[in-house]
Amino acid sequence: MTKKKWSILTYSVPIIALIIVASQFFLVNTSRLNKWKGGGFGMYSEVHYYYNDLIVTNLTKPIDSLILEDRSIATFVMDVKRQPNDANLKHMAELVSKYATSDTIDIQIWRPLIDAKNSRYSRELMGNYQYIKP
Amino acid sequence: MSLFNLKHIKETLSDRQNLGLVAFLMLMIQYTVLTGGDHRKIKLFLLFIGLAIILLFVKKITQPILWYVFMLLLVNDLIFDYLVRANHHFFLMYLTAVVIIYLHNNRFEDFVTNIKLLLAIVLFFSGLQKILSPQFTSGDYYYYMISMGFFFKPLLYLTQDISDIMASNRAQIVQLHLLDPNTSEFITLKNVVPHQPIFCRIYAWLSIITEMIGAILILWKPRHVITHSFFVLIIIGIFFTRLESGFLATLAISGIWLTDNYKFRAIYAVLTVIFFGLIITKLGFY
């Protein structure tokens, strides 16, 4: 390889890093991606998505039981907690729909809400989707 | 041969390319072994084939083949789990790429410039993401982490009273999470340290300012004593806040490559070894 080609390559890595950071900012702002992920160095800037709650209505069993029993649901739980956009909420609703007791399922993601001044801990709704069985 | 030959140690510390590369190789082996994931056996097979070729036949770690194997494993994980991988997975991938480029073109100055730019990017965006997070700037995030006992381990756990408060806070939160959030309201956490809300807000802004100044110093004066004194303080500060050993080892190895001062290189090397101990025992995060 020629010296000139190497000089083009020399600073390509920091440029790629900046492109990945920019794409992470885009996903965070348009697609509800949690700041911890996507290569944008947003770790420790907010509570980790692991502590988000997944709430699903009208099921034959609690969602926690289904997570233990159904592998397809278990493997998608963290995905929907990490990025609770409509596409992921809909996909989770489709996965749990076979356990539904009615044709309508409400699916919600709640995140921890902390108020240090008043030492309060509560939860706030960050994603909500109503799924109607086809 | 004496166990501690000072002349030999000094020679080792003076060769920053090799010292950094050996430390980085050790980190990459640990990271690959500990983050096997779904294709653990194939990854370990590839890793040990690569290592065996290098150690038995080539006998030098500057052979790019080994680093291409690491790159392949890191990129493979990223393709399948892009949104799952931690930020330091990206950082390790960038460092591996600049190592490969350096091993081909042998331009150490360009290599150091790349390390400088990457470190500045990591610190700057880490600070910026915090500024853009109201939960962080208000001190609420640090308040939560300290109240739950997730920060300052094991320091905060040395006092039984504090340890009990943190356990009680965790138990309260577990109970709240059993309730439907549509109907349940809130719980009141107990302060772990006096004036905790104010302390958390100050500590949050101190973190932001430290990261931003660190990024500026590394860009502006990458070899200066003040820059490396500050960078060592950042590493130690993160170490006492949270045992992110894998990320810290990556920062310390970058420091080895960046500094001209062999005393600082010795500090970075000692820190790297401590972090390795924490990674492999899983006392810290990898």
Question: Containing H/E element for A56?
Answer: strand A53-56
* E runs forming strands in B46-115: none
Long-range contacts of B33-36 (CB under 8 A, 24+ apart): B34/B279, B34/B282, B34/B286, B35/B77, B35/B89, B35/B286
pTM for this one? 0.91
CB interface of A with B, residues 24-83, below 8 Å: 33, 35-47, 53, 55, 78-79, 82-83
A112 touches chain B (CB under 8 A): yes
Picking from B99, B90, B111, B97, the residue whose alpha carbon sits closest to that of residue B222 is: B111
pLDDT tens, position by position, B187-238: 999 999 899 999 999 999 999 999 999 999 999 999 999 999 999 999 999 9
Smallest CA–CA distance, residue A39 to chain B, in Å, is 5
> A114 and B191: CB-CB below 8 Å?
no
Question: Containing H/E element for A122?
Answer: strand A120-132
Question: Containing H/E element for A113?
Answer: strand A104-115
Helices (H) and strands (E) in chain A, counts: 5, 3
Q: How far apart are CA B255 and CA B218, in angstroms?
A: 10
pLDDT tens, position by position, B257-286: 999 998 999 999 999 999 999 998 888 777
> A1 and B144: CB-CB below 8 Å?
no
pLDDT averaged over chain A?
Answer: 90
Predicted confidence (pLDDT) at residue B81 exceeds the cutoff of 70: yes
- The DSSP annotation for B160-173 comes to HHHHHHHHHHHHHH
> A45 and B141: CB-CB below 8 Å?
yes
Q: How far apart are CA B117 and CA B257, in angstroms?
A: 13
Instruction: Check residue A111 and report its DSSP letter.
Output: E
Q: How far apart are CA B225 and CA B227, in angstroms?
A: 5
> B87 and A39: CB-CB below 8 Å?
yes
pLDDT tens, position by position, B163-175: 999 999 999 999 9
